[in-house]
Each structure stands twice: as structure tokens, then as C-alpha cells.
């Protein structure tokens, strides 16, 4: 009969070695440490110093803790490295399905005049800002060349419903061609819903088209943020959401808010507006430095720290709702938790390294230009063509994603080797945003200590970590948000 080996047989005599780690000192006597895949562990100064200097004995608890957290290993042993490599490969699996999202800007026209709009919109009577059928057909052909077996076509504007006949044609052509190239396709219309009709909803239901809209909060706030002739943008948005929920189903309708300076003291009211419409969560989204948000100086009306106060107050209010038995999610926190607590790849391009610029999405403008990101398209409307990859008339998917311009952007977006990022305890989860840094600092990489993106990402993660290690109820709720 086989016998177990004695305990000594399982102890290696090989020297202990330190595995790749990053750390940040947090308050008196505490150090936050992460391994190469971003698992966090909190240590005392003495514990960290002993691990870093390898003053450990296999017989003590700290050795077991450090070994289990993949902070140390034994020289010549490969099991830990193989496990870390497997987990890292899982986290980077998004690279196997490049360009799964394709955005069609079917018109630049819009009947709203939002002062923070990221797009340099045009008035609704200027039809020369509509995408042509020829441009749409060529853009669809490029999208179908993507290696990803499942792609999403998202129709944007301006207000895309002002060119709804073109959306109908693109959807019909995509559904006809997709089986030939072995792809499944999802469709999304991003609309303010002011022009929504039962005919449009019937089309969406027949073709499984999802609806995404904007809702900035209660009527007075929404109407000030999103003015239109008649001053009824909130009424039309709410009626559109309710009608779309009724016809398409609640899971086929989503809403996004944008935080303006008017929003900062009203986070609970904004959240309650979403609850009143039976929406299952909210994305507490800051302003972006593009389009009319720059021209009207909206982006200068509050800084990153004020948004972080807004976010933190909102998150704590949402946690309180959950403690009282109501399921409601803050979606950005959910994305971060999924990134921090699992090895599943993220579909959210801002949390990727290399960045999702081009690799995560391609944008086909109304005039035939192709952009590496939606934000890059917005910069072009401001006169900056840094993120233009080509034109649909003479481009292919391959020529776009292998262009020298995109390859440089991708190389610059690798946080693993970027200054400041490479040694940051949050690097595994933070992602990169070359468009943001180009817009704010004129450089794809950016100077991280001066980056609002960097400050926001790190502060959100610190808040989440504090909550996970605070109240057990909060930790349970947050872990339940992991997608």
C-alpha cells in the first residue's frame, strides 16, 4: 500500500527569492502590496521589511502568507510562475478578440445643445453632416473583417435618430452578411430619445437592438444640462425610457449620466431619479476634455478631487440602499471590482493595457474618416487629427490596425513599462488612456502625477479597498457586484 512521504520531503532547500511586487505606503505603519497580477495584501511595516529582505522561515505564518500571496517563491521552482502566467494570460485574453466594438457616427446633427457635449455637433437642418449609404457600406465591410467572432455595432451622433433610415439599412445588411463571415452581431442605438417613436421601437424589438440614452438627474438639472427647443428634454427622455422598457424589456435599455458642476451637490437626487425609473444602477461619470465641454469651459468648473467627493458620497449612499435590501449598482465600481477580484478580461477599454484604442473599438465618422477611439473623433472635430487612422474609401481592417500610427499608440499605452505606472501598486487594474493624455498633456503617455485620469483611478481603487477591508456588510455587497 502506498505511503505518504514525510513532511520534510515537501520542504525545498532552495533559497527563497522575491517575486515581482509593487507597493504603496498607506498611513502610519501600513503597506499595501500587490503581486504581478494585482492581488492586494495589507502588511505592517515590519512584515513588509522582512518579506522584502527575505528574513523569513518556512515555519512561521508570515512565510506562508507571503508564499500564498505570490510575493515570494523558491529558486528553481516553476509552479508559482506558471500559475501567475496562466492568470496573466486570462486577464489579457481581450487581445484574442480585437476590435469587437464598431461605432457608426451616422450623423453629426442634433436638436439638443448640451454645453458639455463631447462632440462638435451641428444644427439639425444641416443634412450634409449625415453619413452616406456608400460610406456606411464600406464601414460595415471593414467591421466584418475584424477577427472577433462577436461584434457590436453602435450607432451614434449627434442624434442618430435624425438619420434613422440609414440605421435600418446598416442593420439589414449586417444581419444578411454576418452568417457568411461567421459572426454574431449586437446592435445599440445611443440616443437622447427625443425623436423616439413606436415605429422605431418596433424596429428595435424585431432586430434585437438595445437602447442607450442620457439621463443627468431630476428634471431641472437634466434640462439645464441638456437644453433643447421647448425645454422638455427630461420629459422626452423619461417617456422614452419607460416606453422602451415596456416594449423592449428593462434589460435592453440603459442610461448614462454626466457630472457637471450643477450635479456635485445632488448625487442622492440623481441616484433616486434612476431608481424611480427602475434602472438597476448608475455610472457616476465625470466630464471629459473634448468638444463643447472644452469650448464652453465646462471641464474647468470642477477638478478631479471634487468629482471624487461626489463619487464617494454616491457610492456610500448606494451601499446604504443595498444594506436596506435594494439591489442597485454603481457600474464603474462594478467594473473596477471585476478587474480587482477576478482574472476575467474586461470589455471596458479604459481599463486595458495596452489600451483599447483601435484594438478595442474603431469609429467610422459620418465623413468616412476612421478613428482609433470615440474620444479621438471628438478631438478631430476640435482640429486635432492625431487619432485619425484612415478613410473607409481606401482602407481595410488590416491596414487600419497595423498602421504605424496605431502601433505607436498601442506601444505608448503599455502601463507595464510606462514611467510611474510600472512601479505603481495599482498598475494591474488601472489601464491606460492615450487619448486623454494627448488631449490634456499633448503626449500619449502623459506625466502621471499631473494626470486627472491617474488620480481618479487610484483614488477610486483606494476607496474600494478601504470598503472591502471595512464593514463586512459593505464587503459582501461589493463582492456581489463582480460581473
User: How would residue 290 be classed by pLDDT, with cut points 50, 70 and 90?
Assistant: low
Q: Is residue 76 pLDDT above 60, yes or no? A: yes
CB atoms within 10 A of CB 76: 9
CA distances from 152 to 84, 86, 162 (A): 31, 28, 21
Of 91, 112, 133, the one marking the end of a domain is: 91
Of 51, 68, 91, the one marking the end of a domain is: 91
| Grid cell at residue 51 | 518579506
| Grid cell at residue 50 | 522582512
Based on the domain organization, do 45 and 191 belong to the same domain?
no
Based on the domain organization, do 113 and 84 belong to the same domain?
no
Based on the domain organization, do 110 and 57 belong to the same domain?
no
Q: What secondary structure, in 3-state letters, does 263-323 show?
A: CCCCHHHHHHHHHHCCCCEECEECCCCCCHHHHCCHHHCCCHHHHHHHHHHHHHHHHHHHH
Pick the closest to residue 446 from 461, 456, 458, 434 (CA basis). Answer: 434
User: How would residue 292 be classed by pLDDT, with cut points 50, 70 and 90?
Assistant: very low
| CATH code of residue 394 | 3.20.20.70
Contacts of 231 (CB under 8 A, 6+ apart): 223
Based on the domain organization, do 87 and 120 belong to the same domain?
no
Averaged pLDDT, 250-265: 95
Averaged pLDDT, 264-268: 97
Q: Is residue 482 pLDDT above 70, yes or no? A: yes
Based on the domain organization, do 104 and 236 belong to the same domain?
yes
| 104-129 per-residue burial string, b: 16 or more CB within 10 A, e: under 16 | bbbbbbbbbebebbbbbbbebeeeeb
Tell me what percent of the residues of the chain surpass a pLDDT of 70: 93
Q: Say if residues 56 and 66 touch (Cβ distance below 8 Å).
A: yes
Tens of pLDDT, residues 3-42:
777 766 666 678 999 999 999 999 889 999 999 999 999 9
- Alpha-carbon gap, residue 21 to 51, rounded angstroms: 11
Based on the domain organization, do 56 and 197 belong to the same domain?
no
- The answer to whether position 370 is within a domain reads yes
- Alpha-carbon gap, residue 50 to 274, rounded angstroms: 50
Domain coverage including residue 79: 13-91
Based on the domain organization, do 202 and 224 belong to the same domain?
yes
Tell me what percent of the residues of the chain surpass a pLDDT of 90: 72
pTM of the entire predicted model:
0.91
pLDDT of residue 374: 87
CA distances from 357 to 14, 60, 98, 374, 408 (A): 44, 47, 10, 9, 11
Q: Is residue 447 pLDDT above 80, yes or no? A: yes
pLDDT of residue 421: 92
Structural domain count, the chain: 2
Based on the domain organization, do 54 and 175 belong to the same domain?
no
CB burial class (10 A; 0-12, 13-18, 19+) of residue 234? buried
Of 354, 382, 401, the one marking the end of a domain is: 401
pLDDT of residue 112: 79
- The answer to whether position 80 is within a domain reads yes
Based on the domain organization, do 110 and 173 belong to the same domain?
yes
CA distances from 207 to 172, 211, 256, 282, 416 (A): 9, 12, 23, 26, 42
- Across the chain, mean pLDDT equals 91
Residue 154 bridge partners (DSSP): 103, 188
- Alpha-carbon gap, residue 400 to 404, rounded angstroms: 9
CB atoms within 10 A of CB 181: 12
- Alpha-carbon gap, residue 314 to 295, rounded angstroms: 28
Based on the domain organization, do 114 and 242 belong to the same domain?
yes
Based on the domain organization, do 65 and 83 belong to the same domain?
yes
Tens of pLDDT, residues 168-185:
999 999 999 999 999 999
Amino acid at each position: 500500500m502506498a505511503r505518504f512521504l514525510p513532511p520534510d520531503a515537501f520542504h525545498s532547500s532552495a533559497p527563497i527569492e522575491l517575486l515581482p511586487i509593487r507597493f504603496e505606503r498607506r498611513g502610519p505603519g501600513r503597506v499595501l502590496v500587490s503581486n504581478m497580477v494585482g492581488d492586494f495584501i495589507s502588511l505592517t511595516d515590519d512584515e513588509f521589511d522582512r518579506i522584502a529582505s527575505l528574513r523569513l522561515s518556512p515555519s512561521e505564518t508570515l512565510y506562508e502568507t507571503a508564499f500564498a500571496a505570490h510575493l515570494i517563491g523558491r529558486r528553481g521552482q516553476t509552479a508559482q510562475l506558471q500559475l501567475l502566467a496562466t492568470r496573466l494570460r486570462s486577464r489579457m485574453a481581450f487581445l484574442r478578440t480585437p476590435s469587437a466594438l464598431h461605432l457608426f457616427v451616422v450623423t453629426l446633427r442634433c436638436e439638443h445643445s448640451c454645453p458639455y457635449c463631447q462632440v462638435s455637433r451641428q444644427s439639425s437642418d444641416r443634412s450634409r453632416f449625415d453619413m452616406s449609404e456608400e460610406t456606411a457600406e464600406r464601414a460595415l465591410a471593414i467591421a466584418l473583417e475584424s477577427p472577433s467572432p462577436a461584434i457590436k455595432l453602435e450607432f451614434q451622433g449627434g442624434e442618430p435618430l435624425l438619420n434613422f433610415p440609414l440605421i435600418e439599412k446598416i442593420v439589414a445588411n449586417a444581419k444578411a452578411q454576418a452568417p457568411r463571415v461567421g459572426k454574431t452581431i449586437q446592435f445599440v442605438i445611443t440616443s437622447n430619445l427625443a425623436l423616439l417613436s413606436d415605429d422605431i421601437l418596433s424596429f428595435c424589438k424585431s432586430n434585437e437592438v438595445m437602447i442607450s440614452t442620457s439621463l443627468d438627474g431630476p428634471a431641472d438639472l437634466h434640462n439645464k444640462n441638456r437644453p433643447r427647443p421647448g425645454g422638455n428634454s427630461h420629459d422626452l427622455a423619461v417617456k422614452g425610457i419607460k416606453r422602451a422598457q415596456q416594449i423592449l424589456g428593462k434589460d435592453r435599455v440603459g442610461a448614462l449620466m454626466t457630472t457637471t458642476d450643477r450635479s456635485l451637490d445632488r448625487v442622492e437626487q440623481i441616484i433616486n431619479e434612476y431608481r424611480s425609473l427602475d434602472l438597476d444602477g448608475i455610472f457616476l461619470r465625470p466630464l471629459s476634455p473634448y468638444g463643447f465641454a472644452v469650448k464652453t469651459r465646462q471641464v474647468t468648473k470642477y477638478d478631479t478631487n471634487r468629482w471624487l467627493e461626489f463619487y464617494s458620497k454616491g457610492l456610500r449612499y448606494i451601499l446604504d440602499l443595498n444594506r436596506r435590501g435594494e439591489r442597485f449598482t454603481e457600474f464603474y465600481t462594478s467594473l473596477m471590482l471585476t478587474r480587482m477580484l477576478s482574472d476575467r478580461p474586461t470589455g471596458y477599454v479604459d481599463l486595458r493595457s495596452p489600451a483599447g484604442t483601435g484594438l478595442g473599438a474603431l469609429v467610422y465618422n459620418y465623413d468616412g474618416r476612421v478613428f482609433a477611439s470615440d474620444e479621438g473623433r471628438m478631438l478631430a472635430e476640435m482640429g486635432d487629427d492625431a487619432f485619425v487612422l484612415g478613410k473607409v474609401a481606401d482602407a481595410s481592417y488590416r491596414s487600419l490596425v497595423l498602421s504605424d500610427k496605431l502601433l505607436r499608440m498601442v506601444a505608448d499605452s503599455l502601463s507595464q513599462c510606462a514611467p510611474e505606472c510600472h512601479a505603481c501598486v495599482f498598475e494591474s487594474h488601472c489601464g491606460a488612456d492615450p487619448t486623454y493624455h494627448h488631449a490634456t498633456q499633448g503626449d500619449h503617455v502623459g506625466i502621471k502625477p499631473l494626470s486627472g485620469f491617474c488620480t481618479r483611478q487610484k483614488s477610486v481603487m483606494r476607496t474600494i479597498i478601504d470598503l472591502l477591508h471595512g464593514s463586512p456588510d459593505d464587503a459582501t455587497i461589493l463582492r456581489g457586484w463582480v460581473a
